Structure 1
């Protein structure tokens, strides 16, 4: 690939990213039922002009999903550098995740409604991908001892994916029907539930020992 070709490819990729960011703004403004015309309008292009940069609606949705996952991981970046007591780390992680969901509820609901794989399709949905990214990070933190004690992979992975799945399901329901609960109340409830599951899974002796981990840096 010569220099001119590389520059052109870079320009096209930059333009795609601009259009994806415009699509996210349109979703935030118009909600999860946003139309392609509204996305194109936000981007300042025609509908055919929009699709000159994407291979159809599925490609556009996949790009929006990838960008959303990237932003969520960036939002949670401090969580991947843990400090303090394990329970406090869990509380901070849940607070950051729920804050992102509440601030970007329309984008999250768009991903849930529009990025589901078709029947027989093995490609992950956008919402499943978000869970997978977060779960993989949590599992690795359990395995490498970042949370205060090393956990066997055979235990860490089901535990991480189960916890993230529970949080995701509860948060998705809360977005639809909060039942008067604030995001802070939901975070506190989920912290208690997740900590109870962790305690049962790894054992109360380990949990009690973890109580002093990070006490000097909390």
Structure 2
């Protein structure tokens, strides 16, 4: 019987430095995202004036761990604002703008309703985002959201005007006018609460549609 001679065991090569670095980078990114989620939960529970201690309790870690991933509270706040914008606010608003509705009034109403419902569903996150406006040298979620929504709305208005053979120069002026009106009125309402949310939506829709209705060509 032929004897089988086994080769000496050969160890697997150690992971390359680039591989280890890639895994560490991914681990750090995932851990940071978990802590941002804990910070969002802390805002919902405590309110806009949450502390790093509140985030640590929410995440079940010490403050020291938080500061391994964020240089200071301002950096953590920026990350929370980014999460609110990208995961909560813009998907609602831009999603409604992306729906092609045959009726202009219903299109406006859907976007306005999405914004008002956000204030109703996430009051703590809304107050937090608004409280951060005007921070020197830091991200301004309110301004960035207004710009994104106005740009999208302006594109729709511009397309309607061009299709009808009309000058499109007023598109962005009208878009910013509508977005600014809805934002400011809704912010006032979030504190005053003088009418039910459904009434606010109808009032703002009537005002926005009344203005754009005189400026845009009728749909064919």
TM over 0.5: yes
- Give the distance between the partners of 1:47 and 1:8, measured in 2 at CA: 21
**Structure 1 residue aligned with 2:149, among 128, 134, 138?**
134
TM-score, normalised on structure 2? 0.82
For the structure 1 residues 199 and 50, does the alpha-carbon distance in structure 2 shift closer, same or farther, using more than 3 Å as the test?
same
- Give the distance between the partners of 1:80 and 1:150, measured in 2 at CA: 23
Larger Rg: 2
- Give the distance between the partners of 1:104 and 1:27, measured in 2 at CA: 10
Does the 8 Å contact 1:116/1:126 carry over to 2? no
Does the 8 Å contact 1:142/1:150 carry over to 2? no
Tell me if 1:73 matches 2:87.
no
Q: Could you list the per-position Cα deviations for residues 1-40 of structure 1 after superposition, in whole angstroms to 9, with x for gaps in the alignment?
A: 9333222212211211111111111111111222221122
Residue in structure 1 matched with residue 108 of structure 2 by the alignment: 90
Higher relative contact order (CA 8 A, sep 6+): 1
Does the 8 Å contact 2:150/2:176 carry over to 1? yes
Tell me if 1:111 matches 2:129.
yes
- Give the distance between the partners of 1:25 and 1:107, measured in 2 at CA: 9
Residue in structure 1 matched with residue 5 of structure 2 by the alignment: none
- Give the distance between the partners of 1:151 and 1:175, measured in 2 at CA: 38
Tell me if 1:9 matches 2:6.
no
For the structure 1 residues 153 and 108, does the alpha-carbon distance in structure 2 shift closer, same or farther, using more than 3 Å as the test?
farther
- Give the distance between the partners of 2:131 and 2:65, measured in 1 at CA: 25
Gaps of 5+ in 1: 214-218
Q: May I ask how many residue pairs the two structures share in their alignment? A: 201
For the structure 1 residues 49 and 170, does the alpha-carbon distance in structure 2 shift closer, same or farther, using more than 3 Å as the test?
same
SS at match of 2:189: helix
Q: CA deviation at 1:197?
A: 2.2
- Give the distance between the partners of 2:130 and 2:34, measured in 1 at CA: 23
SS at match of 1:34: coil
Does the 8 Å contact 2:109/2:205 carry over to 1? yes
Residue in structure 2 matched with residue 185 of structure 1 by the alignment: 199
For the structure 1 residues 151 and 11, does the alpha-carbon distance in structure 2 shift closer, same or farther, using more than 3 Å as the test?
farther
TM-score, normalised on structure 1? 0.82
- Give the distance between the partners of 1:67 and 1:151, measured in 2 at CA: 39
Q: Could you list the per-position Cα deviations for residues 41-62 of structure 1 after superposition, in whole angstroms to 9, with x for gaps in the alignment?
A: 1111222211211121221111
Residue in structure 1 matched with residue 4 of structure 2 by the alignment: none
